Amino acid sequence: NAGVTQTPKFQVLKTGQSMTLQCAQDMNHNSMYWYRQDPGMGLRLIYYSASEGTTDKGEVPNGYNVSRLNKREFSLRLESAAPSQTSVYFCASSEQSNYEQYFGPGTRLTVT
């Protein structure tokens, strides 16, 4: 089992460019999440998907969109990147909402 995988590991974007972060899990989990982590701050929820076919906004959704493509995959899209979106992005999954979460290795994104 690979657990939770994320691609890419690193990315540099110019302001205004768009990109999609990919996430997949092979644990047959129902719930999936996207977080960002900034220095000195806790993980902040961007969007989550409680189950296949549903998505909901988290604490900091502005500037992002998500797609729950199927039970395995949950992608995060930045339509027009801004320097404030420079961060480390983590995808996670859990059997159900509020259960133990399993995290991917993260994507380090820099927007110049």
Partner 1 sequence: KNQVEQSPQSLIILEGKNCTLQCNYTVSPFSNLRWYKQDTGRGPVSLTIMTFSENTKSNGRYTATLDADTKQSSLHITASQLSDSASYICVVSGPGGFKTIFGAGTRLFVKA
Residue nearer to partner 1 on the CB measure, 4 or 111: 4
Residue nearer to partner 1 on the CB measure, 14 or 41: 41
- Sheet of strand 64-68, all strands in order from the earlier edge strand to the far edge: 4-7, 19-25, 74-78, 64-68
Is the peptide bond between 8 and the residue preceding it cis, with omega within 30 degrees of 0?
yes
Residue nearer to partner 1 on the CB measure, 58 or 63: 58
Least Å distance, CB 22 to partner 1, is 15
- Using the rule CB under 8 A, is 42 a contact of partner 1? yes
